[in-house]
Structure 1
């Protein structure tokens, strides 16, 4: 369970669409407070999802080949297939041309409130990967303290990229503004390839794990 959670958390942390959106939130007026609201809402989603899974299992892992165990493995396999299909579709389609409406977009984002930023966080989470994480948490055993450590580490790792940018902006706002601007430019130029790479890698891993668990 631990390895699966760490790899899924890493994939969530570097998911290009979420990272790009957060960079935009930080770059607007009052971005640090709006970024903090985004992170709090982002983490709250993880807590709600994990809490719902643990309540349904009672904190005890299901027996091997039981219906809950089989369903969790099937979810991983389905998410993996979905990610592979999505990644291949984006790869075949190729990058789309971008319009030069950046100024107007930033003007609209400047009017973004902290509450709206918080509302955006759940919409921008990679829910396929979150679902795969939830399916993995089905195997958590809350009688073992290591499971608590793994769950906390998963949430922190999945949020690590956002936390790092938020802390950097708070500690060195001027430098962070320049560096994050460069990151935004890089993401705009390479987002498509990064998205394809992350989705294909995560998809292959989840398909492999799903098949292995269903056939073991």
Structure 2
């Protein structure tokens, strides 16, 4: 369970999509307060999922080879296969875009198209969408930021974490440490960005926005790697335990 939770927590914190939105949020007006409520909403989701699972299991894992244990393994297998499938889908989509000479971030026309002049950076759709989103986030309230955290949760990875929590035995203190570490690790990148904005707001906004631009061009690669690593781990482990 512990290795599963650490792997999933790392995958969640490295997921570029929530982090990209969070960077724009903390770079907006009253960004530090919005970032704080976003993190609280984010943590509330993780804690709620853990609490629901522990309430269902009573804090004790189901016996090996029992129907509930087999059902959980089947669910793990389904989640693993789904993550692998989604990762492969993102990889194929990125390959198709590369073959057409289209950037994932800006949707530009293929290089070398007849009669097509290269678009200026300011005219790219990706830049326009970022500016539009930044303007919207400037008007976002702190409570809306908490709701945004719920929407941006990588729920496929959170579901994988929930199946790992089924194995938690709350009679052991190490289990509570593992659950706390999972929540902390899954929030680590957001906490780091929030603390940076609080203690060095001017430098933080510039550097975080630069990091977001880099993430925008590499988000597909990151998502593919994360989904495949977690998906293959869950698929292989579930098959081994089901057939062992």
Q: CA deviation at 1:105?
A: 2.5
- Work out which of the two has the higher radius of gyration on C-alpha atoms and give 1 or 2: 2
Query: Could you say what the CA RMSD is over the residues aligned between the two structures, in angstroms?
Result: 1.2
- Count of matched residue positions in the alignment of Structure 1 and Structure 2: 216
The answer to whether the Cα contact below 8 Å between 2:19 and 2:189 also exists between their aligned partners in 1 is yes
Distance in 2 of aligned mates of 1:198 and 1:70? 26
- The residue that corresponds to 2:40 in the other structure is 40
Q: Does 1:28 align with 2:28?
A: yes
Q: Which runs of structure 1 show a deviation greater than 2 angstroms over 4 or more consecutive aligned residues? A: 95-98, 102-105
* Secondary structure, counterpart of 1:167 in structure 2: helix
Q: How does 1:123-138 map to 2 (within 5 A)?
A: 123-138=151-166
Report the more deviating stretch, 133-142 or 200-209. 200-209
The answer to whether the Cα contact below 8 Å between 2:24 and 2:209 also exists between their aligned partners in 1 is no
- The residue that corresponds to 2:111 in the other structure is none
Distance in 1 of aligned mates of 2:219 and 2:195? 23
> Gaps (5+ residues) in structure 1?
none
How does the TM-score come out when normalised to structure 1? Answer: 0.96
Post-superposition CA distance 1:12-39 (Å, at most 9, x none)? 1101111111111111111111010000
Q: CA deviation at 1:103?
A: 2.4
- The residue that corresponds to 2:136 in the other structure is 108
Q: CA deviation at 1:58?
A: 0.7
How does the TM-score come out when normalised to structure 2? Answer: 0.85
Q: CA deviation at 1:97?
A: 5.2
Q: CA deviation at 1:62?
A: 0.8
Query: Which of these residues, 156, 159, 163, is aligned with residue 187 of structure 2?
Result: 159
Q: 1:118 to 1:195 in 2, by over 3 A?
A: same
- The residue that corresponds to 1:190 in the other structure is 218
Distance in 1 of aligned mates of 2:76 and 2:222? 22
Q: CA deviation at 1:11?
A: 0.5
- The residue that corresponds to 1:7 in the other structure is 7
> Gaps (5+ residues) in structure 2?
98-103, 107-124
- The residue that corresponds to 1:51 in the other structure is 51
